[in-house]
Amino acid sequence: MSSTAPTKRSQPTNTLPSGKGVYDWVKPFLTTTVGMKVTTAITGTALTLFVIAHLIGNLKIYDGRDSLNAYAHFLKSLGPWLWVARIGLLVAFTLHLVFALYLKKRSSDARPVKYAYKQTVQASWASRTMPWTGLVILAFVLFHLAHFTLGMVGTTDARQEMARKIVQVGYMDLIDDKGRPDVYSMVVAGFSNNIVCVCYVIAQLLLMVHLSHGIASVFQTLGLNTPRIQPALKRLAWGIAILIAIGNIGIVASVRLSWLGDSYVPITRVGDAPPAPVSQPVGEQATPPKKN
């Protein structure tokens, strides 16, 4: 009986995987422990680089309203590329979260009986709390998106551009004198709320703890760690994590200490006076409105 299965010889060689082929190609890797650990390390690195880039961008706040708003305007002008970056970030975040929690669950399921002596366990408290700090960071990011990307949390006073009345508006309705979204005023208004500030500071401290272990683990997973350089890597990881926390908490503190945000009243066009009617040429009568 002749077999219908394709022989190795009859299969096309040197073809790039495409469509479902890509999934079939990566699936065997992603379903192994090593594959999941490497993916968690790579996505974690990408997310850390995003946090660093985001902080560097946010530091433009110290350069003033025009500088921060110009930077935010530039990001928005990237159009489809901004969406490519956003989708990439979302995929990285999802893979990181799902694989990290799955690996943690599998390793604790493999040891149903707890260690008799906690002292025998080498894991630091930062390492043991990774799932919890990670979930708090997820909650923070969701809140942060609602706060500053969607403007769903809180309102602020703003002066109408034309009518010059003060009205209460959402953060997305703030504009600067060049008509761009006023991200500077949004951040200053956002950190005028005590509870919001406390939540931000707690989230940044937990992010610091998470990164201190996460950054060191990347070197371990990728096999770049040796007992000789391990203490230096740990110090490097803590150093990066602390600098990020100082940068982010510094922005919150600077607003609270009034180092940022002057007596400037933000501008809005919400409920503003309608544009002035086009003036009639001399001698021409405006057509009176029709009466029914």
- Which positions touch ligand HEM (CB under 6 A)? 51, 54, 58, 72, 75, 86, 137, 141, 144-145, 148-149, 183, 187, 200, 207, 248, 251-252
Nearer to ligand HEM by Cβ, of 54 and 105: the residue is 54
Chain centre distance of CA 194:
22
Establish how many alpha carbons lie within 13 A of residue 92's alpha carbon, considering only the half-sphere containing its beta carbon.
Answer: 17
Quote the tokens at residue 80: 């489809």
Judged by CB, which is closer to ligand HEM: 99, or 134?
Answer: 134
**Separation between Cα atoms, residue 291 and residue 183, nearest integer Å:** 47
Tell the smallest beta-carbon distance from residue 141 to ligand HEM (Å).
Answer: 5
CA angle 37, 42, 43 (to 5 degrees): 100
Question: Closest distance between ligand HEM and the C-beta of residue 171, in Å?
Answer: 9
Q: How far is the CB of 278 from ligand HEM (least distance, A)?
A: 35
Shortest gap between Cβ of 250 and ligand HEM (angstroms)?
A: 8
214-219, long-range: CB within 8 Å, 24+ apart, which pairs?
214/44, 214/48, 214/130, 215/48, 215/240, 215/241, 217/41, 217/44, 217/127, 218/41, 218/44, 218/45
Residue closer to ligand HEM by CB (options 41, 186) is 186
Task: Compare residues 35 and 57 and give the one whose CB is closer to ligand HEM.
Answer: 57
Q: Cβ closer to ligand HEM: 141 or 236?
A: 141
Q: Minimal distance in Å, beta carbon 159 to ligand HEM?
A: 21
Beta bridge partner(s), residue 157: 168
